[in-house]
Each structure stands twice: as structure tokens, then as C-alpha cells.
Structure 1
Amino acid sequence: MLTEKQLVEIGELQHECEANDKIQLKLNWEMLRNRSENEQSDFLLYEDGKLAAFLGIYSFGKKAELCGMVKPEYRRKGIFSKLMKQALSACTERKYREVLFNAPAQSAAAKDFLKTISCEYSFSEYQMKWAEKELAADNHVTLRQSEPSDLPLEIQLDVSCFGYMEQDASDYSHCIKREDDQEFIIIEFENKAVGKMRVSHTNGEAWIYGFAVLPDYQGRGIGRNALHKIIAKENEAGYPIFLEVEAKNAHALKLYESCGFKSFHVQDYYEWQKSS
């Protein structure tokens, strides 16, 4: 569990690295702020009394994503390799089925480091921001707050739409519901719950995550109308609106673009090739 002082130090290091490298790091701040008390998923290294490097493990069921950074003047000294060794040891102990390294597509430093690790490129993820666009909504589609009784549907959606194993989806759902500043939304079509999304409010921004509609109800405009409604709500509240989508999900990418979202950053993911 990170202290407030450590969170401030990580934020300061992030801003320094992003400004120096002209990139945007994905540190999953809602997860950093809500680590469980006994969870060892963050690795920090100090030099001369200042945070010189950070590496975080972000768990999604039995899948883990790793992302970190090193203060520019402390690079090429083996510091990040030391943190990575600790993190991969923790991943091995937890028996993750998949471990992914997250690197901003424009980060030369990250790409150079990944050449030293046994990994293969897996996919890219677009971060998108909504631009002003006229929206329309269908009254057959409504949004409401998630209730405890919706948990089986939320798990089913993660399994059918995102490829989660059922137990992983259950573990992940229980984990994210501990986080602050999250709004869990159920999408209804003609009074039947058929989809979900989560909205995170962080640093004055609204981020849409976990957007999914049951396969049997896809292709009817339900997702588009649900997006229109949540965009209108968040825009009226004064939030700039963002989301993320994997590049290989061409259908989702086209849907978001048609709703007014435009890409502004790309994150690349590499899968760890653990030796047997």
C-alpha cells in the first residue's frame, strides 16, 4: 500500500519523465491509489534521497500489466533492471497466466530496455479523446447505476466480450469496486440489462472503461446510443472525455471514431516470454 508521500513522488517522477521524453505513461492511478493493505505490487528505488525509479504491477485477474519509469539522469545504470527482476519474481509467485509490458509507442528508452527482456509485441492500444460533436440518443436505451445483483452480468460481459476466464472476471470485478471516483453503469435496452461501462473521474477528466454489450444484442445501435448518453452526461458536467481501445478491435475503434473520439496517444504491449 503506497503512502501519500510516495504517491506524490511517483506523480512528480511521471511528469518529469513525460516532459523529458515527450510521451504519456499509463500508470493506472485509480489502481495505485487503491492498493490493498498487504499488496506488494509497487517497486520504488531511491537515489540521493529522491525517487529515481518506479515499477508497478497492475493485476486483471490472472493477467498482469507492468509499467514503470526511471529518472532521466539515472538511466543505463541497471536500476530499472533491478526493479524488473523483483517484479517478475512476484509475477512468477502469483502464477499469472499472462504478463504484459506496457510502453508508450513513442518511447525510445522503453523500446531499448525491452530489447534486453525476452518478450514479443502483442498489440497496441489507442487512447482517445472526445471532440465536440452533435449527438443523438434513442429512448429505448437507458443507463442506470450498477447494483449488487448485476454482478453476474458484469462478469458474463467480461468473459464474452474481453476474453476473461470466469474466475478472473469475478476477481477483477471485486477489485475495481474498491476504487474511489468510479461510477459503474448498466446499459438497458427495452428494460433489459444488456451491457455495462465504468466511468473514472481523475484529475478533472472522465475516462470510460470496460464498455461492453452482450453479443446477442450487438449490431442494434445499443452501444452507440449508450455512448451518446454517457458523453452528453459527462460533457454537461464539464469533463473532457477519454477512453482506450485496442487497435485490433477494429469494430470498436470505428464506433468510437463515429461518436467523435480521436486518437492522441498509442500504448504498445509486449508479452513476457517466460522460460520454462
Structure 2
Amino acid sequence: MLTSIQLNEIKVLQEVCENEGGFELKLNFEMLKNRVENKTEDFFHYEDGRLVGFLGSYGFGIKVELCGMVHPEYRRRGIFSRLLEMGIEEAKNQNIETILLNAPTESQTAKEFLKTIPCKFSVAEYQMKWQKTELTEDPEVTLRPSISTDDREAEIQLEVSGFGFSEEEAREYHQTIREIDSDQRFIIEANGKTAGKMRVSEKNGEAWIYGFAIFPELRGKGIGRKTLSKVVKMADQKGLSIFLEVEAKNAHALGLYESCGFRSYHSQDYYEYLK
């Protein structure tokens, strides 16, 4: 588990790197704050007692995402290469099937580094923020907390149909998220029947929407739009800024979010490491 000192060191280094590069790193502090014991997921490099290099590993079933940084004054010394080597070796020890390397789209330093290792571009992910837009609700679409065993099973099946997880991955990911997350978990109902799911995290004046999925047979009926409108209005009434993430290849979802007032302001690129 990471100490408060380590978390603060990571934040300080992140701020230096982001200010110098003009981009945002996806270090997922909620996961960093909830690391489990006896599992190596974070890798540090210190110089004269100062943290100058960090790599975080974020597991999702049999897939892992790696994201890291090196202080601008300490680059081109092989620090990140050593951190990455340790991260990849640990992922292999855990029998991880897919290793994704995460880099901000705007980071030229990351792009140049990625040319030196065996990897291929996988997908881009957009961070989007809601801009004031008139939205309408529909009483036939409702949200309720996910609490029962049936709700849990529905969420797992929606991970499979909505995000391409295998059932094994979905169950492991779902268990991990439930253990470390304080997010609100919702089941979406349309005409009284389970239609989809989503998570909402409300912290520091912001609401983030995650894991939004509708069963395939119910898509194209306006359920997604009505649900999104309802959640956005709820968060807006609380005075929260509203954000979400979406993969660029998901053109339908991207179009839905844009039509509801969301605009892209940042993106992350993911590269699959070729073993």
C-alpha cells in the first residue's frame, strides 16, 4: 500500500511533468490510494532522496495499463526504460495477457520513446466535459442503486457486451472495483426492466460518469440519451462540473455525448506492448 508521503511525491512530480509538457497524465489516484498489500503495482526511482521517476500499473482482469513519468531534468538517462522493464516483468509474472502503455496524445516525449519499443497503437480515449445544454427527461427511464445479486450479474453481462470483456475478466474487474470504489453504482431501467448500468463519482466539485452501457438489444431506442440527460441534470443541480471518458473508436457513443452537450478537451493514446 502506498503511504501518504509517496502519494504526495507522485502528485508533486506529476505537476512538474504536466506543467512542462502541457498535457495531463492519467495516474488514477483513486486506484493508487487503494492498493492492496503483497502486490507490486508501483515502481519508483529516487535521486538524492527526491522522486524523479514513477510508473503505475492498473489492472483490469487479464489486462493491465501502464502509465508513468520522469522529471524533465532527469530524462535521457534510461530511468523510464528501467521502470517500464520492471512493470512489464511484473505483469508477465501475473500472467497478464494484454499490456497497454498509456501516453497523453499531446506528449511528444512519450511518442518518441514509444518508437523505441515493440508496441502498436491500440485506441485513443477522449476526456469530455459537459457544456450547458437544454436537456429533456423521460419518466419511463429511471435510475436506482445497484444492490442485489441480479443487479451484479447484469453489470457483469454489460461489461461483456458493452466493453468487450471476457466473462472472467468482467467478474474479476467488477470485484476489484467494488472493493476499492466509493462511486455510486446505478442500474438503468426502462419501462420497469433492467436496460443498462453506469457509475458516477462525485468528488472535489466534479461528477465523472464511468462504465455507461446499455444492453445491445435495447440500443437505438433513446434509452442512453434519456439516461444521460437525467444524470447530467442531477449533477448540474448540485453545482458540479460533469465529465466522462469515451474511446474514439466508439463513434456512436461519441455522437451521443456530443449531442447532449459534451465536448472533448483532452485525449489519451493507448499502445499495446508486443511481447
Q: Mark yes or no: TM-score above 0.5.
A: yes
Q: Give, in whole Å, the separation in 2 of the partners of 1:239 and 1:180.
A: 19
Tell me how far 1:188 sits from its aligned partner. 0.6
Q: Which amino acid in structure 2 is aligned with residue 112 of structure 1? A: E
Deviation at 1:175, TM superposition (A): 0.5
Q: Is residue 17 from structure 1 mapped to residue 17 from structure 2 by the alignment?
A: yes
Q: Cα distance, 1:273 vs. partner? A: 0.5
Could you tell me which residue of structure 2 aligns to residue 102 of structure 1? Answer: 102
1:204 positional shift: 2.8
Corresponding residue for residue 27 of structure 1:
27
Map 1:26-175 → 2, pairs under 5 A: 26-149=26-149, 150-175=151-176
Q: Which amino acid aligns with 2:114?
A: L
In the TM superposition, what is the alpha-carbon distance from 1:180 to its structure 2 partner?
4.1
Aligned identity (percent) is 55
Count, aligned residues: 274
In structure 2, the gaps of 5 or more residues are none
Q: Distance in 2 between matches of 1:248 and 1:121?
A: 12
Shift of 1:32: 1.1
> TM-score scaled by structure 1?
0.97
Letter of the structure 2 residue corresponding to residue 130 of structure 1 = W
Task: Provide Cα deviations, 1:175-223, integer angstroms capped at 9, x if missing partner.
Answer: 0112243111110111111100111234332111100000011111111
Distance (Å, rounded) in 2 between the aligned partners of 1:250 and 1:69: 30
Distance in 2 between the 1:256 and 1:191 partners? 24
Distance in 1, Cα, partners of 2:155 & 2:13: 35
Check conservation: 1:18, 1:25, Cα contact below 8 A.
yes
Measure, in 2, the Cα distance between the counterparts of 1:36 and 1:19: 31
- Aligned mates of 1:4, 1:178 — CA distance in 2: 20
Contact 1:181 1:202 in 2 (8 A): no
1:230 alignment counterpart: 231
Match of 2:220 in 1: 219
Displacement of 1:266 in angstroms is 1.1
4+ residue runs of structure 1 moved beyond 2 angstroms?
201-204
What is the RMSD computed on CA atoms of the aligned residues?
Answer: 1.0
**CA shift for structure 1 position 239:** 1.3
Amino acid at match of 1:4: S
How has the CA–CA distance of structure 1 residues 169 and 206 changed in structure 2, closer, same or farther, with 3 Å as cutoff?
Answer: same
